[in-house]
Amino acid sequence: MIKLIVFLPLLAALVAGLGNRMIGNVVAKAITTGALLTSCALSWPIFLAFVAGNASPSVTPLFTWMQSGGLDIAWSLRVDTLTAVMLVVVTSVSSLVHIYSWGYMDEDPDQPRFFAYLSLFTFAMLMLVTANNLVQMFFGWEGVGLASYLLIGFWFKKPSANAAAIKAFVVNRVGDLGFMLGIFGTFLVFGTVSIPDILAAAPGMAGSAITFLGMRLDTMTILTLLLFVGAMGKSAQLGLHTWLPDAMEGPTPVSALIHAATMVTAGVFMVCRLSPMFEAAPVAQGFVIFIGAATCLFAATVATTQTDIKRVIAYSTCSQLGYMFFAAGVGAYGAAMFHLFTHAFFKALLFLGAGSVIHAMHHEQDMRYYGALRKRIPLTFWAMVAGTLAITGVGIPGLAVGFAGFWSKDAILESAWAAGSLGVEGGHLAFLVGAFAALLTSFYSWRLIFLTFFGKARWTQSEHIAHALHDAHGDHHADSDHDNPPSQEDAGHEPAQHGPAAAGLSDGTGGYHPHESPWSMLVPLIVLSIGAVAAGQVFHHVFVDPEGGLAFWNGSIAFDAHLAHASHEVPTWVMFTPFVVMLTGLWIAYNNYIRDPGAPARFTAMFGPLYTFLLNKWYFDELYNVIFVRPAFWFGRLFWQRGDVGIIDRFGPDGAARAVQGGSVLTGRLQSGFLYTYALVMLLGLAGLATWAMVRF
């Protein structure tokens, strides 16, 4: 069964990708979507069996990959609790995104390719989560990276999409290098790449030392740090996060599937999968806490200033991943996985909702040109509200009712505090940072809702809307794209229905009438809304409760029941802090964007430098540009112009070619056609040879 789950998407991807135009849009879409729905339907029973506690971990061997000396790598599919969680997350979100894409990508000329990529991605992600050894995990790791690259650059005619795809790939390579070194080092130390073997041996390695870069370092620290660098790259943690916001150049369903719900959480998954290794390396854990908390704060601050709806959610993703990491860092792997689980639902929901808004607004992504959409696209509005309630963690502490994010985020914050109290360095700090980030989360999430759905319509200033209206003035509707043949940029746009333009000029709508998205897009929103509302309530006892968690995780992660217990015993003010900051954030957002729309402008005027700093994302891109990109270009030019063209080409191929050409001309000239020349050459040759022979003699 697990084989079906994993390989159906691959099969579908091959059929759709290779069949492409031959089999047509509908067949390709039906095959990929059908395969994913089947995978999803097969995954849930597995997960529920683990929840019910009547399933045991299993490993399904496929075949040997390579065998060389002590290196023994087999393809196999591991199913345990951790995998089961990832299985449902991946297949559910993926199948919903497939369905959603029927509507969103409806007008794209390359639909089979898109669906093939989506399915390929799902396959790679499933290989990653079912890996029983590090090399297979790396295969999946690179596979999702490839799919991510292909999908970010899906509209390859857009230069910005290509640049973003390359950036994602290159930044991920940096992380992958760390991961690779980690794998090599692990093999060096443990003599195996089999995950169960490594995890079994890991505790015994604590405290041993290894020589790395000429220094004696703690073995487990160096290994886990290297592996964590890989996780940082894939999960866009501070330092290697720069690719994620740019990845929003890809189609919105891709952002929802890959850059929110699944691929970016692979780093968290990896840390949890290898949690016994991290448990044996306290220094590395401290680093994980630090990076997680820093990312959490950084991304949340940046998200407050962005105006692109997808970028806000992207930074939000980054920030939420930070939560997961510091949870893993303090040892609350259950909480980290729980947040991963709930986050997948509400973040996919937010992204797909955003996609629905963008779809309705004729590809306008700037929130400054939204407003007053609540009545126009009510279902999308309610779905987005559900997602926002989940991400901001709305719930009532003490009564044990709340949306998904309430359960998981509170579990993380409480775990952090509890860990701090138990002596984990940085635990309390992580709690404070996390709480502040929660305030920011609440603020930017509601800011998004208020800007988009409330207030007055500000659509007239949008070029995209203007474009749509301009088209509507064409002779008749069928010609609406006549001067702009279905380009990739317009993919997924549904020709807007228009009334007389003059009618809406006064109310800021410009006469534009946004329409609710088709059902294929709304159904996934509804399903995910249910998940966002209920996932926490339903599953919290198995993920994070001390007793339930121990039984549920069943050794697949280093679940610390003691810590879980302690996190339920935190002081009341700790328990209420998230609630309070959530309300504060909501109030600030309400005050700034509904009650007093002039407030943000006054604020930016007052704190200009801070605002600019945040708006420019802490100048990370600029910094990297100066530190890495420019020197790299400089070196590239140096080697190209001076080294390659100037030296290698000049004295190598070009020089040789010139010499040969010159020789050819010379030979031609010598071959004059006159007998005396020929005889002279012969005699000179004879004289030369004779002289040489005599000299040697």
Site residues, another protein (CB under 8 A): 660-661, 663-665, 667-668, 670-671, 673, 675, 677-679, 681-682, 684-686, 688-690, 692-694, 696-697
Q: How far is the CB of 682 from another protein (least distance, A)?
A: 5
Between CA 380 and CA 384 the distance in angstroms is 6
Nearer to another protein, 52 or 665 (CB): 665
Q: How far is the CB of 676 from another protein (least distance, A)?
A: 10
Return the closest-CA partner of residue 205 out of 213, 215, 192: 192
Q: Which long-range contacts (CB under 8 A, 24 or more apart) does 24-29 make?
A: 24/112, 25/111, 25/112, 28/111, 28/112, 28/115, 28/116, 29/98, 29/101, 29/102, 29/111, 29/112, 29/115
Q: How far is the CB of 688 from another protein (least distance, A)?
A: 8
Return the closest-CA partner of residue 279 out of 338, 229, 328: 328
Return the closest-CA partner of residue 233 out of 295, 168, 294: 168
Torsion of CA 163, 168, 171, 173, to 10 degrees: -110
Q: How far is the CB of 678 from another protein (least distance, A)?
A: 4
Q: How far is the CB of 649 from another protein (least distance, A)?
A: 17
Q: How far is the CB of 275 from another protein (least distance, A)?
A: 54
First to last CA, the chain: 86
Token pair for 620? 């990370």
Q: How far is the CB of 666 from another protein (least distance, A)?
A: 8
**Buried-exposed string 242-274: b where 16+ CB fall within 10 A, e elsewhere:** bbbbbbbbbbbbbbbbbbbbbbbbbbbbbbbbb
Q: How far is the CB of 691 from another protein (least distance, A)?
A: 9
Which residue is associated with the tokens 């070029």? 463
Token pair for 75? 């393809």
**360 class by beta-carbon count within 10 Å (0-12 exposed, 13-18 middle, 19+ buried):** buried
Q: How far is the CB of 138 from another protein (least distance, A)?
A: 36
Q: How far is the CB of 380 from another protein (least distance, A)?
A: 58
Between CA 295 and CA 329 the distance in angstroms is 13
Which residue is associated with the tokens 């006469």? 511
Nearer to another protein, 41 or 683 (CB): 683
Nearer to another protein, 26 or 687 (CB): 687
673 in the Ramachandran plot: left (φ > 0), alpha (ψ -120 to 50) or beta? left
Q: How far is the CB of 665 from another protein (least distance, A)?
A: 7
Q: How far is the CB of 671 from another protein (least distance, A)?
A: 6
Q: How far is the CB of 660 from another protein (least distance, A)?
A: 6
Q: Which helix (H) or strand (E) segment is 83 a member of?
A: helix 81-104
Which residue is associated with the tokens 């984990």? 424
Q: How far is the CB of 675 from another protein (least distance, A)?
A: 6
Q: What angle do CA 56, 58, 59 make, to 5 degrees?
A: 170
Nearer to another protein, 519 or 678 (CB): 678
Nearer to another protein, 208 or 671 (CB): 671
Q: Which residues pair with 512 in a beta bridge?
A: 498
Nearer to another protein, 505 or 670 (CB): 670
Token pair for 280? 């044996």
Nearer to another protein, 474 or 688 (CB): 688
Angle, in degrees to the nearest 10, between helices 519-544 and 404-421: 30
Nearer to another protein, 633 or 678 (CB): 678
Nearer to another protein, 573 or 697 (CB): 697
Nearer to another protein, 61 or 653 (CB): 653
In sequence order, what are the residues at sequence separation of 6 or more whose Cβ sits closer than 8 angstroms to the Cβ of residue 648? none
Query: Phi and psi for 293 in degrees, rounded to 5?
Result: -65, -40
Q: Can you spell out the DSSP letters for 539-596?
A: HHHHHH-HHHHHHHHTTSS---HHHHHHHTS--HHHHHHHHHHHHHHHHHHHIIIII-
Nearer to another protein, 478 or 693 (CB): 693
Nearer to another protein, 571 or 685 (CB): 685
Nearer to another protein, 3 or 658 (CB): 658
Nearer to another protein, 631 or 663 (CB): 663
Q: Distance from CA of residue 4 to its chain's centroid?
A: 25
